[in-house]
Amino acid sequence: MCAVAAREVALEPNVRKWLDNPCRMLIDGQWVTSESGKTFDVFNPATDTVIAQAQAADKTDVNKAVKAARRAFDDGPWTKMSPAERGRIVWKIGDLIMEYQEELAQLESLDNGKPISIARAADVPLASELFQYMAGWATKLNGDQIGITVPYAPGAEWHAYTRREPVGVCGQIIPWNFPLLMAAWKLGPALACGNTVVMKLAEETPLSGLKLAEIMQEAGVPDGVVNIITGFGEEAGAPIAAHPMVDKIAFTGSTEVGRLIVDAAKGNLKKVSLELGGKSPNIVLADADLEKTIPGAANAIFFNHGQCCAAGSRLFVHESVYDQVVEGVADFARNIKLGPGLDPETQMGPLVSRTQFDRVTGFLESGKSQGARAAVGGERGDGDGYFVKPTVLVDVKDDMEVYQEEIFGPVVTASKFSDLDEELIKRANDTVFGLASGIWTQDIGKAHRLAAKIRAGTVWVNCYNIFDAALPFGGYKQSGWGREMGEQVLNNYTECKAVTVSL
């Protein structure tokens, strides 16, 4: 079904398995079709062609999956396992991800469009690390012993302590920009903490998540503990968010759908964590080391074709170095090799879907019509795929759509500033989002002072897009609720119980 050009990597025999037969979903340990019998097409964004079929789940399938997860939570064996046993299974998932690294990287590149070199170097190993970092927490979910006073019971003696317990059945809905990694970010901590899961993969990119489901079975995750379904947001995502037997919902995606998730969760007041959009400021001070800053600022926006919630999409440059930095980043963009993800020489692939292509090119048009100018790019790339050229927009005003809204493509706006305290900090924070930010300077005092003033969950100094399983990630303001990764994510997946004993 899938034609591969000569210079592209040869597909692993196992990859063909996902392409040549309709992919099934994992519910209660069984690989099943949707109850309705409906499937949908999976596209290769480099060629705008159909490469596979996936099951289109709806409410009935979600119900089945939630019941399985509920039973697995309430009856065990998962929840009765020792922490060490659970930790070993989560660790094994990480091992198996590396064992199947080439299959996973190819599926990711084919389905999402990202360069195979990036999938191999970043997505796959980061997903493996995430499971292994979280595996360690399974044996360290400790409570506290608490000294209490109780003024209305003078003379009494107490032993009080807290326990950390799993939340229960977790619904998890993920996007298409890092399909495997987003699945790992959510599944790793949920499993380490002893929860059970119903996850919906993004319609645009179901393949690597299904392979991960197979890996989790092989690692020994018991039936019903993880249920992985495919389908569309309204049919398969919304019923998870609304389901009365789901205790917690974790969502990554647009701020708009994040609001729908909150509404849907209202019925049984399930716990909600959200990782939403961004319009992150990337700030270059006058004293920055431009040799590092220019490629750094380019990577901040162009990594993953700008399809990153943390993308450094608003570049602020001090007026004294503005021309040099803009020309440098534009030059970097001009030299990026666009092509299909499976070509080992490709540095930037296509956008994920026709919808995203239309959305991003729409922003380019709106920017131009409002007076912005492309210093480089500004148009679609060659070929039938969803290619957009890496773009640097200048002559941008702070009220333009391209400056205000999350574009989620390889498009950065470059703005000048003159004063750090009076002007820059205000402009950097003048957004409804607060996910990430970057600062480039050789003045360590300025860097820390600025880092404290930026209203965002992540600040990178003299670097950008540095992610690690041990670092918490999440947003201020409309960029979300709660944190993923690090020790902080355990708050999303555990309840805290206070036990008080009268001695």
Applying CB under 5 A, the residues found at the interface with Mg ion are 43, 111, 204
We find the least distance from the C-beta atom of residue 220 to ligand NAP, in angstroms, to be 27
Confirm or reject binding of residue 456 to ligand NAP (CB under 6 A): no
Q: Could you tell me which residues are beta bridge partners of residue 271?
A: 248
**Cα-flanking dihedrals φ and ψ of residue 288, to 5°?**
-65, 150
Taking the least distance from each CB to ligand NAP, the nearer of 190 and 219 is 190
Q: Which stretch of DSSP H or E encloses residue 315?
A: strand 314-318
Confirm or reject binding of residue 40 to ligand NAP (CB under 6 A): no
We find the least distance from the C-beta atom of residue 217 to Mg ion, in angstroms, to be 23
Query: What does the alpha-carbon distance between residue 183 and residue 458 come to, in Å, rounded to a whole number?
Result: 21
Confirm or reject binding of residue 170 to ligand NAP (CB under 6 A): no
Query: What does the alpha-carbon distance between residue 315 and residue 311 come to, in Å, rounded to a whole number?
Result: 10
Name which of Mg ion, ligand NAP, none residue 486 binds, using a CB cut-off of 5 to 8 Å depending on partner kind: none
Q: Transcribe 378-390 into DSSP letters.
A: -SB-SSSS--B--
Name which of Mg ion, ligand NAP, none residue 43 binds, using a CB cut-off of 5 to 8 Å depending on partner kind: Mg ion
Cβ atoms of 272 and 265 closer than 8 Å: yes
Confirm or reject binding of residue 176 to ligand NAP (CB under 6 A): yes
Tokens 């119900």, located at residue = 63
Residues binding ligand NAP: number (CB under 6 A): 27
By CB under 6 A, which span of 72-80, 119-127, 232-240, 484-492 interacts with ligand NAP? 232-240
* Contact residue for ligand NAP among 215, 260, 439, 456 (CB under 6 A): 260
Taking the least distance from each CB to ligand NAP, the nearer of 265 and 329 is 265
Angle at 146 between CA 142 and CA 150, to 5 degrees: 150
Binding track, positions 42-81, relative to ligand NAP; x by CB under 6 A: ----------------------------------------
Read off the amino acid at residue 380: R
Which of 103, 204, 235, 275 is catalytic? The answer is 275
Taking the least distance from each CB to ligand NAP, the nearer of 253 and 377 is 253
* Burial class of residue 445, CB neighbours in 10 A (0-12, 13-18, 19+): exposed
Peptide bond into 206 cis (omega under 30): no
We find the least distance from the C-beta atom of residue 34 to ligand NAP, in angstroms, to be 14
Taking the least distance from each CB to ligand NAP, the nearer of 182 and 372 is 182
Query: What does the alpha-carbon distance between residue 273 and residue 480 come to, in Å, rounded to a whole number?
Result: 7
Residue 309 annotated as catalytic:
yes
Residue nearest to Mg ion as judged by C-beta position: 111
Q: 43-74: buried (b, 16+ CB within 10 Å) or exposed (e) per residue?
A: bbbbbeeebbbbbbbbbebbbbbbbbbbebbe
Confirm or reject binding of residue 465 to ligand NAP (CB under 6 A): no
Confirm or reject binding of residue 363 to ligand NAP (CB under 6 A): no
Query: What does the alpha-carbon distance between residue 93 and residue 131 come to, in Å, rounded to a whole number?
Result: 7
Read off the amino acid at residue 308: C
Query: What does the alpha-carbon distance between residue 386 and residue 4 come to, in Å, rounded to a whole number?
Result: 17
By CB under 6 A, which span of 51-59, 251-259, 425-433, 454-462 interacts with ligand NAP? 251-259
Query: What does the alpha-carbon distance between residue 17 and residue 99 come to, in Å, rounded to a whole number?
Result: 17
Residue 452 C-alpha from the chain's centroid: 25
Confirm or reject binding of residue 211 to ligand NAP (CB under 6 A): no
Query: What does the alpha-carbon distance between residue 355 and residue 119 come to, in Å, rounded to a whole number?
Result: 23
Taking the least distance from each CB to Mg ion, the nearer of 111 and 214 is 111
Cβ atoms of 219 and 89 closer than 8 Å: yes
Residue nearest to ligand NAP as judged by C-beta position: 233
We find the least distance from the C-beta atom of residue 173 to ligand NAP, in angstroms, to be 5
Name which of ligand NAP, Mg ion, none residue 15 binds, using a CB cut-off of 5 to 8 Å depending on partner kind: none
Classify 166 as helix, strand or coil: strand
What one-character DSSP code corresponds to residue 22? Answer: P
Which of 203, 309, 406, 484 is catalytic? The answer is 309
Confirm or reject binding of residue 175 to ligand NAP (CB under 6 A): yes
We find the least distance from the C-beta atom of residue 167 to ligand NAP, in angstroms, to be 19
What one-character DSSP code corresponds to residue 304? Answer: G
Confirm or reject binding of residue 467 to ligand NAP (CB under 6 A): no
Name which of Mg ion, ligand NAP, none residue 111 binds, using a CB cut-off of 5 to 8 Å depending on partner kind: Mg ion
Half-sphere exposure of 49 toward its Cβ, with a 13 Å CA cutoff? 12
Confirm or reject binding of residue 200 to ligand NAP (CB under 6 A): yes
Question: Which residues participate in catalysis according to the annotation?
Answer: 275, 309
- Interface residues with ligand NAP (CB under 6 A) are 173-177, 200, 202-203, 232-234, 237-238, 241, 252-254, 257, 260-261, 275-277, 309, 359, 406, 408
